[in-house]
Amino acid sequence: PEAAAAIREADALLICTGAGMGVDSGLGSFRGKMAGVWPPLRALRMDFSEMSCPRWFQSDPRLAWAFWHFRHQAYTKGTPHEGYDILAKWGSKMQYGLFSVTSNIDGHWVRTEGVGDERTYECHGTVMYMQHTEEEGDDPPWPTDHARIDTLEVPEWDLKPGDEVEAQLPHEGWVPAVVAEDGSLSRKADSGAKTVALPAALAVRRPGGEDLCRVREGCPLPGDEKGAWRPAVLMFGDWGVNTVRIDEQARRFEAWLSTVPQDANLAIVEIGAGTAVSTIRRIGEGTARKFKKSSFIRINLEDPTAPADCGERQVSVGGLGALAALRAIDAELAPGKV
């Protein structure tokens, strides 16, 4: 009820979303209970932040594009869930409208009616745009040729616990292994039936088969006469991301925020924003502190506590996913509810 009251009284809506917002669209988050981004990561004993790094486009581009092909397909083939439309509906009724700030790179806010590109700030970029791996000049990123990415040939990762595979190890070459319950790899110990965990593998294949972690050899990788492509996304340890479009969106966000009076009842709804990469939390909390009459609503499955100094009213919504929480608030806003 408290969250619904804040929305009902609001003059403007700022939506701040992290990875937890996409879970109900079938997208895994990077950490926490709903983690799950690319199946081979466990077998490679690689953390998400290590794989989501631009250096792979130079050192192992077929591995890089297998990872980014998976993410591109998940994001572009997935559909924004009902929660996006619920938030857009709320904002459309407010005097100063809405703006969406997101660290998600899935492009789902741009696809939401009533929000679109003009009211979206994708602060980490998006898979919907590409750039060259080695940028020269100030040319902006260009829209992704989705058909081109679709043609990348990546073997299906359909391994199950107990499957026998071969793992390529740095100093041993290809060795027999078994898929463990958690998706990592193990092999039989010399002493008999017991298994021991394998160290990080460089590649994985079914016995005598093809590498399951990379784009097939012979399949052309995205690029043109100016060089190889990569998504225009801010990755970890990324000093080469093209920020032309990101900066343009940031300016539009600041321009919108300047139209909202300092004494307005600004509702800030933060959803699924983690603490490991705290960009969205910083933006939402910082804006709430600037607008003294604002209401700050934090929806987070695992860490919902809202800081006491964020605006005039703080609401914490925990234990629910994004869509369930938004539906519950929306039900409280139905005609006849007080």
Residue 135 pLDDT greater than 80, yes or no: no
**What's residue 39's pLDDT?**
87
Confidence class for position 250, pLDDT limits 50, 70, 90 = very high
* Residue 130: predicted pLDDT: 97
Residue 137's pLDDT is: 61
CB atoms within 10 A of CB 335: 4
When pLDDT is averaged across residues 310-324 and rounded to a whole number, the result is: 92
Region 153-165: mean pLDDT is 94
Split at pLDDT 50, 70, 90, the class of 193 is low
Q: What is the arithmetic mean of pLDDT over 174-189?
A: 89
Q: How far is CA 27 from CA 17, 56, 220, 271, 326, in A?
A: 14, 23, 27, 15, 18
Across 293-320, average pLDDT: 92
Q: For the whole prediction, is pTM greater than 0.85?
A: yes
pLDDT for residue 212:
97
Q: Tens digits of per-residue pLDDT, 8-28?
A: 999 999 999 998 998 888 765
Q: Are 140 and 242 in contact (CB under 8 A)?
A: yes
> Within 10 Å of residue 110's Cβ, how many Cβ atoms?
19
Q: At residue 336, what is the residue type?
A: G
Report whether pLDDT(30) > 60: no
pLDDT, one tens digit per residue, over 254-279 is 999 999 999 999 999 999 998 887 89
Residues in the chain: 338
- Sign of the torsion angle spanned by Cα atoms 283, 289, 290, 291: positive
Please, which pLDDT band fits residue 197 given cuts at 50, 70 and 90? confident
SS3 82: helix
Q: Are residues 234 and 125 in contact, defined by beta-carbon separation less than 8 angstroms?
A: yes
Alpha helical stretches, state H, the chain: 2-9, 40-43, 48-51, 56-59, 61-77, 82-92, 146-150, 244-259, 279-290, 322-332
Mean pLDDT of the chain: 91
Closest C-alpha among 57, 239, 231 to residue 130:
231
Are 47 and 41 in contact by the 8 Å Cβ rule? The answer is yes
Q: Where are any strands of DSSP class E within 234-301?
A: 266-271, 295-300
Residues 114, 103: Cα–Cα separation, whole Å: 19
Exposed/middle/buried for residue 23 (C-beta within 10 Å: 0-12, 13-18, 19+): buried
**How far apart are the C-alpha atoms of 58 and 146, rounded to whole Å?**
22
In this structure, how many other beta carbons lie within 10 angstroms of the beta carbon of residue 120?
Answer: 22
